[in-house]
Structure 1
Amino acid sequence: MDCVLVQCLPQNELYDARYQSENLALGYLSSSLRKNGFTVAVLDAHLEELAPQQTVDAILRYQPMIVGFSSSAQDSISSTFEVAKLLRASGYQGHITIGGHFPTYEHQKFLEYISELDSVVRGEGELTIVEIVQRVREGRNLIGVKGVTCRDEANKIVANSDRELVEVLDTLPLPDRPTLHHLMSKNRRVSILASRGCYARCTFCSIQTFFNYRPRRVRKTENVVSEMKALYDQGVRKFKFVDDLFMDPSKKSQEWVKDLCYKLKEADMTDLNIWLQVRAVCVKEDIFKELLGVGLKKVFLGLESGHADTLKRYRKDITPEQNLEAVQVLKRVGVPEISIGMMIFEPDLTVQGIRDNIEFLKKIGSFDIRDVTGRFLPYAATPLTEQLLQENRIKRNSWYDIGSYDFLDPTVGLLFEMVNRYSDIARPSLKAVYQLDGLVRHLEARVQRHVSYYKEYSEIRRQVENYINEHGQLMLHLVQDTVEAADRENGEISLKQWYDVAERMFKDVEKTAYMLIAEIRELVTELELIDGSVDSIHIAEVKVLGTVINE
């Protein structure tokens, strides 16, 4: 085997399985290698939920000449390091390379501190990985390969010149999808990419840095639809657009979306289940009516804050009122599910900023616990992180640690400390939320074969969505009460008293979650009995859960 491409499972106690999805980067790298005559395998340990040693064992079974890690997320980089170290400890002597956003920004440090690595791919990797495999196969070093940082014969780190971006995305071969069956068996969305890059200038984001501040590149609609049709013919209905930004506010972009919808209808694909993400300024009523006509089911809006000063510091180029209007438009046209992204806590936040965010979320009406507790994370290469580093405000345990910072307002710091503690207390009930999500997807897949049960499924789904919203509302009111108490007592509040309150509240909602879990499992078991494929453990779990609830 010439190359095995790997994504590792993040090591996170509160791993959010709701966002476990296909790694399209691995698919594009794989197809580029195959197009050039190389043998390649994809190992998505993230999707398959493989522990580090299991990942190593799976890699070694291929006996690859090269192992290529895709590791964009800074907060999961430690798991990749562990796999690389275990791989070398197991006797692997081949070439190990790594690529992704964070490796691109810190390519020198990767090779300085991780001796197990031989090279780092910077930026887009489809063309670079082909040249790496060719050079390694020929026994040549990587000096001169564009987009690569490596070591020379004297073990000195050399950063070769940057590789130009792929100007026309449609020239890339379509991504391999070795995990397609796995995704469909889990009733998950299949990823699709229509563009790369973003026009915006947000200070918390590093996408512009990654793409060298180049304009957004967009595929032709006919090619996107053709790719979707090939997947549709294999039974895929659930699609997730993984673009950094599905559309921009320009008239040209709006026309592109309308043309995409027209071509999807022309191809008789109107029963889709589509997920996409946009900025609030891109939300136009006519555009989203068109998208609903081809099966739009979920929209993610990165609102970030309901406080005007924070939005300015984030350089969002939008107001809280415009953010709110975008949500109202999506609700008005009937988008079934609206998810928002919020980073309420940021370095220069004031107590008034917290109050503004509380009122903003009340007006939004539906959200989850992350939208109340979210904060700006100082990821590498973002403008705001660079500013904080210059001001010597970031504290890190290591070079790859995301780090933390002190808030300018000590009262905000105290409130954030309390919110963190509230989040810890909420963990058991939050884990139940993730469990509910998985069960609802499993139930949805079963109901597709038993439409007579759709009414029961719809009612359960409504209860689950209400529970998730109530879970978030609980945290919101808890934070609001804490802020008011801090005002009354001039910041001298009893931490233990409030932590006890939080514990009682989240203990109660946890019981509600397990009641819902038992109800869903009971219906799943009933449908499995009809199919003749019942797993006896489901029945046992329902009985156990019932006992726990009754106690």
Structure 2
Amino acid sequence: MTARLELAPRAADAPPRPDVVLVRPRDFGAVPAGAPVQDPLGVGYLAAGLRADGYAVRILDAHALDLDDDGLVACVVQMNPRLIGLSLHSFADYTHCVAISQGVKAARPELYCVWGGEHATFHAENILTQHAEVDAVVLGEGEATLADLLAALPHAAPAGLAAPVAGVLARGRGTALLHGGFRTAIEDLDAQPEPHKDIVEMALRAGRPVSISVLTGRGCTHRCRFCTAHEFLRLGGGRVWRRRSPRRVVDEIQRLATSYLNSELVHPVMQFQDVIFLGTSTASRRWATEFVEEMERRRLVVPFYCMSRADAIIANRDLLPRLVGVGLWSIEMGIESGVDRILKRYDKQNSSDANTEAIELMRAFGITYDASGFIMFDPSMSLDELRDNALYLRDFGAATWDFFVTRLQLYPGTELRDEMIRKGLFVGADDIGKTCGYRFEDPLVERVAQFTSYYDPSIRDLDLALRDAKAEAAIAHRRGTSGRSEITTGIDLIHGSYCNHLLGLIDAVAAGAPDPQLAALIAGFVQRTKRLAAVMKDILRHPQGAPARAAPLDASMAQ
């Protein structure tokens, strides 16, 4: 893809050389064409904080600008900032961060290159050891850290910093790495400026759909063994879960709703990006109540999505109807597994029965829901547990195909990764881009996993149809109507189709089926998926009562 420099936003009074350019790469395989541009709050908070300190900041987002890695490099080289910052938000970004950093350094070796983000934090030493193009890694929260690093740059020679900077692992003089120690977590989030929306504005100017995000707090009170949310933002100490005041959050929601939600390009549901929006403690439930009261006092109804756990949904059952009244539309619930032994292995402090109870509550109030972080394949599970997991996900009633094939990801800094390394099941602990290159304890489970590592465009078409069908069903429920029977049937058939295919692979592997037989099962599944996607898309295009042109739904589409 060719760089188009004119797409880079530039205010009339912008300085000729910014102090910082913050870059968001895009993995074109992970982000499908037509998907809304995301509103990354980390970049927004960094830009807001640096500008408050007097620094000139520009942001480049590959998705909003439709730029590949080479295009981003060309933009950065033209802007010629003092510092470029890249976020290693997920391991899908890793190869892009490397390519962009190398490209920029090849053209402007004097430019200071910094990586940040959760995965960069826990791989900081490996990054600096393996990538000469990276000068420093920001550890944990970055607002104050990046400002202090910028202040130190006038004293930095090409060979590295003269002294450590708090919250940074950086190259020093010679071959030394300078660790500045970890910063204490930011205590007063209300004192932080609201995140700037450069990327939202960028997407709107380019005519691209975009979502709007809000953050009410930082951190997590739980210690799930596959996750680092409990530690990442408090590496130097501080409270594990900090919240902005409900009034400040509602101020931001009201302003963003007024500014953006009337645009046809903006997704109508605001995204709350907290790891956990609802909690179980007295303090967290009081916060949620005050939030609802503030929304009600202002007579605000703003559709929003949030993430939560089953126990928190249950603990806030009495508040759910009021949350729905002020706009709660969808909850992404972290269920992770339908097998209680696996939940205990993850230290989820939860059970499959609690998940089921929370699902029933969401259904009762017309809240759409998703299986956040569901892990179908765990390296310790048996074939029977895999089968139980598939059936549980089917009955959960909100699963796309991705959830039926997801493997446990072993992220750096997590207890499970360390455990797998000790057991000799995970090799390549220093491999920055590796999160699931492990051996399964049961070779039959591993064989099933191998035969789910494929993708066909028809699956995405069917997933999108499932999403739209769920939305139509939820709207009907909230209106007190029964909705279209074909929509309900279609949702059940899609879940059944996904589950039946996985169960078929499990049974075939258990029976010792050869590779050609497994390949034939996959080919049949893809053909059924194409048929079902075509029928569902046709149903969704036609309003209730209008005749559909495609073949009617029937059970054979899920067999």
Q: Residue 123 of structure 1: CA displacement? A: 0.7
1:122 to 128, 139, 149: 139
1:427 to 445, 456, 460: 456
2:322 to 256, 275, 290: 290
**Separation in structure 1 between the aligned mates of residue 427 and residue 495 of structure 2, nearest angstrom:** 29
Name structure 2 gaps, 5 residues minimum. 1-17, 262-267, 473-478, 544-559
**Separation in structure 1 between the aligned mates of residue 41 and residue 303 of structure 2, nearest angstrom:** 18
Q: Which moved more, 1:356-365 or 1:213-222?
A: 356-365
Q: Tell me the secondary structure at the aligned position of residue 73 of structure 1.
A: coil
- The residue number in structure 2 matching 1:506 is 526
- The residue number in structure 2 matching 1:452 is none
1:484 to 493, 498, 507: 507
- The residue number in structure 2 matching 1:385 is 417
**Separation in structure 2 between the aligned mates of residue 91 and residue 162 of structure 1, nearest angstrom:** 30
1:350 to 382, 386, 398: 382
Preserved contact between residue 245 and residue 279 of structure 1 (Cα < 8 Å): yes
The TM-score normalised by the length of structure 2 is: 0.82
- The residue number in structure 2 matching 1:228 is 253
Q: Residue 476 of structure 1: CA displacement? A: 0.8
Q: Which amino acid aligns with 2:402?
A: R
Q: 1:472 to 1:82 in 2, by over 3 A?
A: farther
After superposition, the C-alpha distances for 1:478-514 in whole angstroms (9 at most, x for unaligned) are 1223333444x3xx11331232122123223224435
Q: Tell me the secondary structure at the aligned position of residue 342 of structure 1.
A: coil
Name structure 1 gaps, 5 residues minimum. 445-454, 524-551
- The residue number in structure 2 matching 1:36 is 53
Preserved contact between residue 433 and residue 468 of structure 1 (Cα < 8 Å): no
Preserved contact between residue 378 and residue 408 of structure 2 (Cα < 8 Å): yes
Q: Residue 229 of structure 1: CA displacement? A: 1.4
Preserved contact between residue 74 and residue 379 of structure 1 (Cα < 8 Å): no
Q: 1:498 to 1:468 in 2, by over 3 A?
A: farther
**Separation in structure 2 between the aligned mates of residue 362 and residue 169 of structure 1, nearest angstrom:** 40
Q: Tell me the secondary structure at the aligned position of residue 179 of structure 1.
A: helix
Preserved contact between residue 36 and residue 211 of structure 2 (Cα < 8 Å): no
**Separation in structure 2 between the aligned mates of residue 522 and residue 58 of structure 1, nearest angstrom:** 45
**Separation in structure 1 between the aligned mates of residue 105 and residue 369 of structure 2, nearest angstrom:** 45
Q: Which amino acid aligns with 1:145?
A: V
Q: Which moved more, 1:105-114 or 1:234-243?
A: 234-243
1:70 to 83, 87, 100: 87
After superposition, the C-alpha distances for 1:162-185 in whole angstroms (9 at most, x for unaligned) are 112111111111111112235565
Q: Residue 475 of structure 1: CA displacement? A: 2.2
1:88 to 98, 105, 109: 105
Within 5 A, what are the aligned runs for 1:101-120? 101-120=118-137
Q: Which moved more, 1:172-181 or 1:464-473?
A: 464-473
Q: Which moved more, 1:210-219 or 1:303-312?
A: 210-219
After superposition, the C-alpha distances for 1:157-215 in whole angstroms (9 at most, x for unaligned) are 11111112111111111111112235565454311000111111111111123133742
The TM-score normalised by the length of structure 1 is: 0.83
- The residue number in structure 1 matching 2:278 is 247
Determine whether 1:194 maps to 2:235: no
**Separation in structure 1 between the aligned mates of residue 105 and residue 395 of structure 2, nearest angstrom:** 54
Q: Tell me the secondary structure at the aligned position of residue 25 of structure 1.
A: helix
**Separation in structure 2 between the aligned mates of residue 42 and residue 290 of structure 1, nearest angstrom:** 38
2:438 to 405, 411, 416: 405
Q: Residue 331 of structure 1: CA displacement? A: 0.5
**Separation in structure 2 between the aligned mates of residue 196 and residue 64 of structure 1, nearest angstrom:** 30
Preserved contact between residue 351 and residue 411 of structure 1 (Cα < 8 Å): yes
Preserved contact between residue 367 and residue 469 of structure 1 (Cα < 8 Å): no
Determine whether 1:258 maps to 2:292: no
- The residue number in structure 1 matching 2:310 is 280
RMSD: 3.1
Structure with greater helix percent: 1
- The residue number in structure 1 matching 2:403 is 371
**Separation in structure 2 between the aligned mates of residue 91 and residue 468 of structure 1, nearest angstrom:** 53
Count how many residue pairs are aligned between Structure 1 and Structure 2. 501
Identity %: 23
- The residue number in structure 2 matching 1:170 is 190
Q: 1:186 to 1:238 in 2, by over 3 A?
A: farther
Q: 1:436 to 1:53 in 2, by over 3 A?
A: farther
Preserved contact between residue 188 and residue 238 of structure 1 (Cα < 8 Å): no
Preserved contact between residue 345 and residue 374 of structure 1 (Cα < 8 Å): yes
Q: Which amino acid aligns with 1:40?
A: V
Q: Which amino acid aligns with 2:513?
A: I
- The residue number in structure 1 matching 2:557 is none
Q: Which amino acid aligns with 2:337?
A: S
Q: Tell me the secondary structure at the aligned position of residue 153 of structure 1.
A: coil
Q: Tell me the secondary structure at the aligned position of residue 74 of structure 1.
A: coil
- The residue number in structure 2 matching 1:547 is none
Within 5 A, what are the aligned runs for 1:312-351? 312-351=344-383
Preserved contact between residue 65 and residue 203 of structure 2 (Cα < 8 Å): no
Q: Tell me the secondary structure at the aligned position of residue 259 of structure 1.
A: helix
